[in-house]
A and B are shown apart, each in its own frame.
Chain A
């Protein structure tokens, strides 16, 4: 399996969840685990460019696929990805626990709808729970991310670098 462009050997325990594999076997702890039943969205990662719940996949299922985690959006020291930058500018995060999941979902949303309508934003971020912000600043972040992304949409369509 390829994670953030790096190949890794297949996990050995078939019941290991992808979320646990990323966090505890590969040390990519930016992917968070909030409910392990697919409701909260904290564990969202990109699988071949599309956002999915990593707590609802077995790690072995990611074999032969490309996984992008929050750590893969912008390299260390490199400028933030437009979605990350927008969340910063719009105070789209407080405790930061749900944030990686939201960012990955929004990357997927903007790939699908580069200039999302209000309803597309609502439904695009519904599926991720946030307990801190009340979502208002996240809506603003999505709009800002769309604006920041517009010249980059083609390049970033798969969400990865």
Chain B
């Protein structure tokens, strides 16, 4: 594809394979095992930023992506655990799922930013 993509990214089969696994898992779970949909959707959401590793990869960036994933997953898992808590569930959703990551994720992005792709 070099002719179509003169500034092209490097080839990364892992990105394509990962996307296929998640796509197939979602279809299977949604159709036959809805109880697994939350896990597949959460995995897809937190692994999507990792597509950046196809263009630039560093230990700092991997650590940043892991930190973001942990932050998001803690929010989602806590919400799932507090499903039956009337006020506690809503408060967790708003505070841990929404408000807490608001300043942190953009700050982590800024820290991981590089002026040029490597």
Q: Do A and B bind each other?
A: no
By a beta-carbon cutoff of 8 Å, the part of chain A in contact with chain B is none
By a beta-carbon cutoff of 8 Å, the part of chain B in contact with chain A is none
